[in-house]
Structure 1
Amino acid sequence: MSEQTVRHHDVIELRKIHPVPRPLQVAVLHEDEIIRRGLEMLLHAMPGIGLVHVSDVPLLAGGALTRCRPDIVLLPASLETSTLQELLDTAHEAGAKALLMLTAPDREAVRRASRLAADGFLLETGLNAGTLGHAVEAVARGEIPVPPSLVRELLSEVKTGGRCERGPQLTPREEAALALLVQGMSNKQIARRLGISEHGAKRHVSNVLAKLNCPNRTVAAVVAVQDGLIAAPAH
């Protein structure tokens, strides 16, 4: 056997032992070209990032988002609520995680964002390679990245909605569903882990959201960790 053949065989065996993860594909949707290009530049400089699809919103809203099938989508929270919800729905239908970018952590912006089914949040103010990289890596792992200043506003928004001060009375099944929800699992994954139907998992998650007085899963995860109901996922 030649030296070249042995070397080729060794490479094949090493790949079997240490599979190389697929680079992440990211779509950046923003109406501001300077912000779009800045995000594109930062993402291309990050390890583990493959293709970066960059466009203003109208070009991708018509179905191109489904065709490019990114792993992560970055969306501006400044869009009209109906347009933003449509894009979030399209991203999730395509199997992507959605990071929502807020211009500032003011109460009205947080109130609006907390009612949308985003998988994490970013602040455009002060955004840099470190904070962007942390958010992208976290959401790719199934975690829910939220800047500290937004955590405070999210909790304040939920508490002003009348959440019970003594804490929710969750059943053991609801506690288990909440723990898996904090890990970023979908209803289908929760159902598989708990050995129940997807309908049953959906019912448990709905009960959790109602008892926590949270508009969506992202806010429920933040509340659960901050209030000590569930431990934060280990890195």
Structure 2
Amino acid sequence: MIATEAVRVLVVDDHAIVRRGLRAYLDAEPTLEMLGEAVDGQDAVARLTQWHVTGSRMPDVVLMDLQMPRMDGVEATRAIVRSHPELKVVVLTSFGEAERVHAALTAGAAGYVLKDADTDEVATAIHAAATGEVHLDSAVARLLARRMAAPKTGLTSLTSREREILVLVAQGLCNREIAERLVISERTARTHVSNLLGKLQLSSRTQAALLAIREGLVSPPT
């Protein structure tokens, strides 16, 4: 994705008023483009499949509600990540849905944003997912970090370089920024991130960031 291009977003929510509000905001934000909307997870999966088959423009980020009829956000996230691994899913959540958010992250979601967040934070969360960064709400991050199961292999399986990169991921740096910080190539940074996710049996940078918080490698965001 070219840096100057607007991030294309598919909004998935079963409440028409929520979709309408998000459309109004996204249409007014030049760095974001609402590519379409879906009424639930099943509708989202069907639309993405149709767009892919017909060669239509695909979204960069799917903004996904969690509680929906027919197919909820967790199941839809799992289906989308499996069929379209290049897409990033950001879940819409409330403070009391930590268990559902944890399930969505386990299913492959790249991040989350609170439903009562201001519009600037929604944009920040979407852009973070699109560029491979991590955006965490401090209160939810603390809850999620406590709920994370310990990886079977543990941090001891990581090399010193991988542990260093895990900390930088938790601080919200993307691969390009990690490469600049460590004076390595972006490809090497990407490889290290992929390796540490594999060793820790995690599916996203957000999960890695939460693990780093839980293990005390970094402090929760303020």
- Candidates 172, 175, 182, aligned match of 2:163: 175
Quote the Cα distance in structure 1 between the aligned partners of 2:76 and 2:135: 23
Quote the Cα distance in structure 2 between the aligned partners of 1:32 and 1:133: 20
- Counterpart of 2:30? 47
- Larger Rg over CA atoms: 1
Aligned residues: 199
- Candidates 128, 132, 147, aligned match of 2:137: 147
The one-letter code sitting in structure 2 at the alignment partner of 1:84 is T
User: Aligned-pair distance for 1:41?
Assistant: 1.0
Kindly indicate whether the alpha-carbon contact (under 8 Å) linking 2:13 and 2:38 is maintained by their aligned counterparts in 1.
Answer: yes
Quote the Cα distance in structure 1 between the aligned partners of 2:79 and 2:160: 35
Equivalent residue of 1:127, what SS? coil
User: Aligned-pair distance for 1:37?
Assistant: 1.2
RMSD between aligned residues: 3.7
User: Aligned-pair distance for 1:85?
Assistant: 0.8
- Counterpart of 2:50? 64
Higher relative contact order (CA 8 A, sep 6+): 2
The one-letter code sitting in structure 1 at the alignment partner of 2:166 is L
Q: Does 1:73 align with 2:66?
A: no
Deviations 1:99-153 (A, max 9, x none): 11123434432442342211110122x1331221221232233212222221011
Map 1:103-122; keep pairs closer than 5 Å.
103-122=94-113
- Candidates 194, 198, 215, aligned match of 2:188: 194
The one-letter code sitting in structure 2 at the alignment partner of 1:77 is L
The one-letter code sitting in structure 2 at the alignment partner of 1:59 is D
The one-letter code sitting in structure 2 at the alignment partner of 1:26 is V
Unaligned runs of 5+ in 2: none
Quote the Cα distance in structure 1 between the aligned partners of 2:65 and 2:8: 18
Equivalent residue of 2:210, what SS? helix
When residues 110 and 140 of structure 1 are mapped into structure 2, their CA distance, relative to the original with a 3 A threshold, is: closer
Deviations 1:141-190 (A, max 9, x none): 321222222101111102xx3579xx8333224325535755455xxx99
Q: Does 1:98 align with 2:85?
A: no
TM-score of the aligned structures, taking structure 1 as reference length: 0.67
Quote the Cα distance in structure 1 between the aligned partners of 2:76 and 2:33: 27
Kindly indicate whether the alpha-carbon contact (under 8 Å) linking 2:145 and 2:213 is maintained by their aligned counterparts in 1.
Answer: no
- Counterpart of 2:19? 36
TM-score of the aligned structures, taking structure 2 as reference length: 0.70
- Candidates 184, 187, 212, aligned match of 1:224: 212
Quote the Cα distance in structure 2 between the aligned partners of 1:223 and 1:120: 14
